[in-house]
């Protein structure tokens, strides 16, 4: 019995509600690997933004403040956990999840990535203020691509 798109959507929902980070399923020659949440990368100047972000049309997405220096430990990159199409709002015409200047918590939804008609939420995974959005709404993103940057307050210790 093959898995349907509805089965995959239900499996994805169950993974998001669980405490597991990754799920692998093999069924009748079909292989499915799901990873939850957005990966947060620190100080990764070697990860380039996608051409869609660089070639945004005039009047396109706000770029926010200038990028932080790669040695600035208070600015963190939020990266794409999947390959797909990144959307900044839950549906066309709806308010965007976040904007430059938005305050976010670890569980704040910053966007969704569509993969094969399945919508996967992407969360901030850190607390802070959005200082730069690097991906155009509706843009194709690659796994590990920087979606946005979040500034945290100075570390205390």
Confidence band of 138 (pLDDT split at 50, 70, 90):
very high
The answer, yes or no, to whether residue 155 has pLDDT greater than 50, is no
CA separation, residue 7 to residues 2, 84, 116, 122 (Å): 9, 19, 13, 21
pLDDT digits (tens, 9 = 90+) for 11-63: 777 777 777 777 777 766 767 777 765 444 433 333 333 333 333 333 444 44
The answer, yes or no, to whether residue 107 has pLDDT greater than 50, is yes
SS3 readout for 6-45:
HHHHHHHHHHHHCCCCEEEEEECCEEEEEECCCEEEECCC
Residue 99: closest CA among 52, 132, 142, 53: 132
The CATH architecture to which 37-151 belongs is Beta Barrel (2.40)
Lowest mean pLDDT among 22-26, 113-117, 127-131, 143-147: 22-26
Average pLDDT, integer, range 80-102: 93
The answer, yes or no, to whether residue 71 has pLDDT greater than 70, is no
Residue 34: closest CA among 15, 7, 53, 54: 15
Domain segments of the chain: what residues? 1-36, 37-151
β partners of residue 138: none
The answer, yes or no, to whether residue 70 has pLDDT greater than 60, is no
């Amino acid at each position: 019995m093959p898995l349907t798109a509805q089965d995959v959507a239900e499996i994805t929902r169950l993974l998001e509600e669980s405490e597991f980070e990754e799920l692998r399923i093999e069924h009748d020659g079909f292989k499915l690997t799901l990873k939850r949440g957005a990966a947060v990368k620190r100080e990764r100047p070697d990860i380039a933004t996608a051409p869609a972000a660089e070639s945004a049309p005039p009047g396109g997405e706000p770029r926010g403040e200038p990028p932080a220096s790669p040695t600035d430990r208070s600015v963190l990159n939020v990266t794409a956990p999947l390959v797909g199409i990144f959307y900044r709002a839950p549906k066309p015409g709806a308010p965007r999840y976040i904007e430059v200047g938005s305050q976010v918590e670890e569980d704040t939804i910053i966007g969704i990535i569509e993969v094969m008609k399945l919508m996967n939420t992407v969360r901030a995974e850190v607390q802070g203020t959005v200082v730069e959005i690097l991906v155009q709404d509706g843009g194709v993103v690659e796994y590990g691509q920087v979606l946005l940057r979040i500034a945290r307050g100075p570390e205390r210790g």
